[in-house]
Structure 1
Amino acid sequence: MRKTITAVAAFAVLAGSVAPVTARDDRPSPAAKVAQDYAFGERALLNINNMSLWFKRDGFSARNPLNDNSGVTFPRSTDQVIFQDGIIWGGLVQD
């Protein structure tokens, strides 16, 4: 049994080291990625059900990028309800 496990592990290591490597010319350049991102715009207005929300591509959300005020309206076409949102991390530690 031990010889079988050793043989399988050795085969896995050899198979991983012989895997083909792609040339650098085959990968897209970082400049092409940046140009593609700018083609899609910097911000978007999401309209979901009866709520609208501004979202930017750098991760900021619920802020209107045009006037830097609240960016969430509910019900839509009325007044803003959330000034800014974010992710809250929490945990319970028992040592």
Structure 2
Amino acid sequence: MARLKFEMFVDEWSSKNRGVSSTFTDGNGVESTSWWSSPPDSISHVDIGYLKGRYGNVKTKRHEVFIKSRFREEMQRLVENKEIHI
């Protein structure tokens, strides 16, 4: 079984369109990507239904908790590295 993975990045398209892309990989290795036009610094208030809408492979509470935690970490990293400004 693969490990869960969540990463955020600013590629050329995201930079041009002033946003951030993110990818979630589930325990089966299935990957889905979402683009955030104006990413918040936290998504702790959203429910699993919202995350399922962004990432089609979100299925469990474990996925929800993992993504919320990693989202905070990734946003902090992007801000600290000056890749984005919030």
Task: Provide the TM-score with structure 2 as the length reference.
Answer: 0.23
Give the number of the structure with larger relative contact order, counting CA–CA contacts within 8 Å between residues 6 or more apart. Answer: 2
Larger Rg: 1
